[in-house]
Structure formats: structure tokens, C-alpha cells
Amino acid sequence: MTNWIEVEHIDALPVRGPTLADLDLERVARHLQVARGVQNQDPLSYLREKQGVTTVAEQVIPTLGGLLCFGREPQRWLPYTGLALTRYAGTEANSQQVADIRDLRGTLFDLIDQAEAYLWTQSNHGFRLESGPRRISLDQYPRIALRELTVNAVAHRDYRVTGSRVKIELFRNEVEWSSPGGLPPHVTVENILKAQYTRNPVIVAFLFDAGYIEQRGMGLDTVVQLLQSEHLPFPHMEDTRANFLIRIEGHSVLDKYAQLGLTPALAQIYTLVERAGGSGLSARELAARLDTPVRTVNNRLRELIERQLIVRTGATTTTRYYILDTTPPAQDA
């Protein structure tokens, strides 16, 4: 018999109320079809081995980890284990700037998938210009970073804190994850990339088996490397003891294009004109750089002028285009 208080980690403790019938064994069976290093094991024996269930008074009872990963309705028993997702139109958490609120429910697998999909679809996607007309796709945030930080938030939060959920806030050019309970003992913001501690080993084992965690202890390292490779700032981290906060910044150029409402074709011309600064560019120069007919370029320039994003100066044969605030002063006659 398992004692209710002498288990080292909370996610290996049984949850009062639910029974074996509240676990989706068919989902466990599907999980086993893709689980790493698991062969010819039935769902119940797998759950026993991984501490997803335990025996109390001769009854098989789901543990916290088992219920959160394979429960039919985890939040029926543990309401605080959902995920609160808020999208803001601006750069601060202001009630006047709230654009959308989502209350995500389901297993931890469901929460991760739903949150990642939402963050990806609601962030900006565009391109960067290389030499010549070639456009290289560019996403506001690395998708793997969005996934890894969501996994970290639900896998490593302190589930003893029953009055608070994991929160994700999406701002105009930043995303912040808030995990209840702060960092584990002996882990600080300063040593977090080197310190090793698993607060919820049962949950982490299920996520690892399913491929949601590639290598234990490497999730945040992966995020930092991804951000560095895309020349994005190091994540901002703060441990308030009540919560652990981590915030990442995205590519601001995509936020600018989104705010201006530019299509990729218009953004391409806008970017080239912007880079030219006070020298400006002619329609023929733009057409040559983009390998696009002059007539097409002129149509796009006309739309940018109508939207008061660029200006045109000079006579017909000397016409040049500038970003509105970089127009050179008029020459004296």
C-alpha cells in the first residue's frame, strides 16, 4: 500500500476522487505505439511501472502524473491544472488591450499542442531580404522555442500550488510564460542552464516517452541556442518565488509589417526603400533588384504612396521614392 505523504515527488501521489475508470486506457495504448523504448507492454502495467497509478486500500488509483497525462477530464478533479492564455494588442498586460482569452483544458499533451498551435497561428510570419530578389522566410518566433517553453511551463510547475494555473501571455512582439511555484530548490535564474533538477519526474517521463521532451534538462538550452542563432535577445527570466517567469522577444521587423498591414509584396518594396535611406530608389532600380516588371513595381509604389508610407520626389525622368521620414531636403535652385 502506498502512503499518501511519504512519496518524494507530488506527481507520484494518488489523487483523491478519480479511479482507474477516469483514465483513458485507449489513449495510453496509442501512446505506447510511439513511446520510446517500450515494447509489448499493456497499458496498465506501463502505468504501474511509470507510477501513473498506484494502489490504495486495494484499489488502483491514478497518481497526479497519470491523471494529468492520461485522464479523461483532468480539470474535473484538478481545476488549477489548465492553462490560461491571453493575447494583447499592445506591449503590456492591460485590460484595455486584451484581444483574446482562452481557457485551455485537457491532458498535458492537449495543453501543449493547443498552446503551441495558438501561439504559432497568432504570431507573425514573413520574410527577410537577402541580396537580389530572393526572400527568405522568417517567423516572429522559432516554433521549437514556443513548444519547448510551453512544455517546460506545464512539466516543471509546482503542482502543490492549487490556486494558480500556468499562464501564457502573447504581446505584440513578446511572449511570456508564468509557472506557479517559482524555481525548485537550489535552482536560480543565474544557474538555471547548468542546474539539474526534476520536480515532476513522472510527468517528465511520460512527456519524454511521447517525444515532447527530446533530452532531459536541455529544453531551455535549446531555446537559448535557437534565439542566439536568429540574433534574438537572451530570454528574460525572473523568479518571484510565487511564479517563475520567462519572456522571449520576437523579430520586430515582422511586427512592424503586421502593424503597417503590408502584404509580402508591399513589404519587400518598403524594406528596400527604407534601406536606401536618404538616397531613395527609382522604380527601375527597384524593378532590377526584385527582378519584377516596372509596371508591377509602379502599381505597388502607388499603393504605398496612397497609404502615406512612402513619398515620391523629382520629375518623370528623375523620380525617386523615399520612406516618409527620410525624404531629403529640397535642393536650392
Domain boundaries, the chain: 10-71, 80-253, 261-326
Rounded CA-CA distance 215/187 in Å is 19
Report the first-to-last Cα separation within the chain, whole angstroms.
97
From CA 212, how far away is CA 190, in angstroms rounded?
A: 26
Amino acid 144 reads I
Kindly report, residue by residue over 258-309, the tens digit of the pLDDT: 778 888 788 888 888 988 888 899 999 998 888 889 999 999 999 999 999 9
Fold for the domain defined by 261-326 = Arc Repressor Mutant, subunit A (1.10.10)
Looking at residue 169, its pLDDT comes to 98
In this predicted structure, what is the pLDDT of residue 120? 96
pTM: 0.80
User: For the chain, what is the total number of helices (H) and then of strands (E)?
Assistant: 12, 12
- Kindly report, residue by residue over 128-155, the tens digit of the pLDDT: 665 555 667 889 999 999 999 999 999 9
Q: Assign 326 a pLDDT band (cuts: 50, 70, 90).
A: low
Class of 80-253 in CATH: alpha beta
177: enclosing H helix or E strand: strand 174-180
Which band of pLDDT confidence, cut at 50, 70 and 90, is reported for residue 125?
confident
